[in-house]
């Protein structure tokens, strides 16, 4: 047997319905907020993420599935969607085509991380981005969209964290303040943090090493070092969130592991997930569009891990598994031909119909109907053919009723109205 690659998984029937449920709710929600779908390629040039996600990030340094293709070009499987959506926005001049460029995409991402529950090497994101709006009201609307997604999915134990990481005006002095607050202690930090102190001191707040925590807890907070414009923006974001009535907590450690963030960052965690508890994360990235060769436009967005949303769904989420409306059973060659015709008619009428392919006994066809979960069986034999009828069997009670052949579709529609059977189309 050849098994799936470590860190990747098959989404099988039984679970795929849960994915469809999450994706359907997300798409409908994004559309209500004015977002349109973009489908970007899964492979991109490596430099898109080196420049976009950032050279100092774990993603770019350790986790990319990057390779040289047969034409000698450096490409990579995308580790995240934000740089791809920025590229598409710039490359196709979407600004000229959309009043407010609000884009979403969904699909697989790839990061060479250590797999564990909720963390995979191929995982899937729902990603939302909006370009060119500077006002804090869009930060709040973006957070509201993320919060609404989690609420509409019925996820319990969700907590919203927000922070501001400043901008190129105030970041350098905050980084310097961090380094000076660390002082001699820097030598007692883990190797990663010692490196971060030199390259990107903010990232020290991401450290999970227990021995480092007492030192990190004493460090100053970004929100106390914001320039006036960033401070005003952050307090406006909070006022809008208060107006929406969305509960949040300011987390000084929420700096996020990607280089492009400016000002607002946010995450939604769920207690039901275990160690990998971030359902989604995002923030503002006001310099990224320009860095990637576009006009000087702001951006903000978030991405949610679909695996984690699916894991966090409540037990009683109304997930429908599409059972057949009817199983058509037939005895004898003529009846089998008629069964195939009937099944085709039923399917054309929008009904889910199955049949037996092997010419098995009626008993074993009834067993198959049961296993398939069909509430009704339509039985055809020589008698039924002679009378131009079908015997309809209620699989639960075993009751059987002869129905005229021409009335079969209406009968099934009526009997399975609760199963979501489509009603007759007006002529």
Q: Which residues bind ligand HAM (CB under 6 A)?
A: 80-82, 111, 113, 118-120, 123, 125, 127, 129, 258, 278-283, 301-305, 307-308
Least CB distance to ligand HAM at residue 102 (A):
12
Residue 180 CA, distance from chain mean position: 40
> How many C-beta atoms lie closer than 10 Å to residue 342's C-beta?
22
Residue among 139 and 419 whose Cβ is closer to ligand HAM: 139
Least CB distance to ligand HAM at residue 61 (A):
14
Residue among 170 and 280 whose Cβ is closer to ligand HAM: 280
Residue among 105 and 351 whose Cβ is closer to ligand HAM: 105
Cβ atoms 162, 250 nearer than 8 A = yes
Residue among 218 and 249 whose Cβ is closer to ligand HAM: 249
Residue among 17 and 113 whose Cβ is closer to ligand HAM: 113
Residue among 104 and 174 whose Cβ is closer to ligand HAM: 104
> How many C-beta atoms lie closer than 10 Å to residue 266's C-beta?
27
> How many C-beta atoms lie closer than 10 Å to residue 106's C-beta?
21
- Hey, what are 391's tokens? 């015997």
Least CB distance to ligand HAM at residue 105 (A):
10
Strands 122-131 and 74-77: unpaired
What is the tally of helices (H) and strands (E) in the chain?
16, 16
Residue 408 dihedral angles phi and psi, to the nearest 5° = -60, -45
Residue among 283 and 375 whose Cβ is closer to ligand HAM: 283
The CA-based angle 168-303-259, given to 5 degrees, is: 25
Least CB distance to ligand HAM at residue 116 (A):
9
DSSP string of 277-296?
-EEEEEEE-TTHHHHTTS-S
Cβ atoms 227, 170 nearer than 8 A = yes
Least CB distance to ligand HAM at residue 409 (A):
45
Between CA 93 and CA 263 the distance in angstroms is 26
Residue among 312 and 408 whose Cβ is closer to ligand HAM: 312
Residue among 40 and 82 whose Cβ is closer to ligand HAM: 82
Helix, strand or coil for residue 128?
strand
Who's near 228: CB < 8 A, 6+ residues apart? none
Least CB distance to ligand HAM at residue 97 (A):
21
Least CB distance to ligand HAM at residue 67 (A):
19
Least CB distance to ligand HAM at residue 210 (A):
22
Least CB distance to ligand HAM at residue 180 (A):
29
Q: Where are the beta strands (DSSP E) in 312-384?
A: 326-330, 353-355, 376-380
Sheet with 65-68, side-by-side order of all strands: 43-45, 74-77, 65-68
C-alpha distances (whole Å) from 360 to each of 100, 252, 326, 357, 363 are 60, 68, 18, 8, 8
């Amino acid at each position: 047997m050849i098994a799936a690659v470590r860190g990747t998984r098959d989404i099988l029937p039984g679970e795929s319905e849960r994915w469809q449920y999450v994706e359907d709710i997300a798409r409908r929600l994004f559309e209500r907020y004015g977002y349109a779908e973009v489908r970007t390629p899964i492979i991109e040039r490596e430099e898109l993420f080196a420049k976009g996600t950032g050279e100092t990030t774990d993603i770019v340094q350790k986790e990319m599935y990057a390779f040289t293709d047969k034409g000698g070009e450096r490409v990579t499987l995308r580790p995240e969607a934000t740089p791809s959506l920025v590229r598409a926005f710039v490359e196709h001049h979407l600004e000229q085509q959309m009043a407010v460029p609000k884009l979403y995409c969904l699909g697989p991402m790839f990061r060479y991380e250590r797999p564990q529950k909720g963390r995979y090497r191929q995982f899937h994101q729902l990603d939302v981005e909006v370009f060119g709006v500077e006002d804090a009201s869009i930060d709040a609307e973006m957070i509201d969209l993320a919060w609404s997604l989690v609420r509409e999915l019925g996820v319990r134990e969700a907590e919203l964290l927000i922070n501001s990481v400043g901008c190129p005006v105030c970041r350098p002095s905050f980084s310097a303040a961090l380094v000076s607050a660390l002082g001699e202690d820097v030598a007692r930090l883990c190797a990663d943090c010692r490196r971060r102190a030199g390259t990107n001191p903010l990232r020290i707040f991401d450290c999970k090493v227990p021995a480092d925590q007492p030192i990190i807890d004493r460090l100053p907070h970004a929100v106390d070092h914001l320039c006036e414009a960033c401070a005003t923006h952050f307090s406006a974001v909070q006022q809008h969130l208060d107006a929406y009535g969305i509960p949040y907590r300011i987390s000084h450690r929420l700096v996020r592991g990607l280089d492009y963030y400016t000002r607002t960052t946010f995450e939604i965690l769920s207690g039901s997930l275990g160690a990998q508890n971030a359902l989604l994360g995002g923030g503002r990235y006001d310099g990224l569009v320009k860095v990637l060769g576009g006009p000087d436009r702001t951006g903000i967005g978030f991405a949610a891990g679909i695996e984690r949303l699916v894991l966090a769904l409540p037990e009683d989420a109304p997930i429908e598994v599409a059972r057949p409306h009817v199983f058509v059973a037939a005895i004898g060659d003529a009846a089998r031909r008629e069964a195939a015709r009937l099944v085709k008619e039923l399917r054309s009428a929008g009904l889910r119909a199955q049949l037996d392919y092997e010419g098995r006994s009626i008993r074993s066809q009834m067993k198959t109907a049961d296993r398939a979960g069909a509430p009704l069986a339509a039985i055809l034999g020589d008698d039924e053919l002679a009378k131009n009828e079908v015997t309809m069997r209620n699989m639960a009670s075993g009751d059987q009723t002869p129905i005229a052949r021409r009335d079969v579709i209406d009968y099934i529609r009526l009997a399975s109205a609760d199963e979501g059977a489509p009603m007759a189309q007006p002529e």
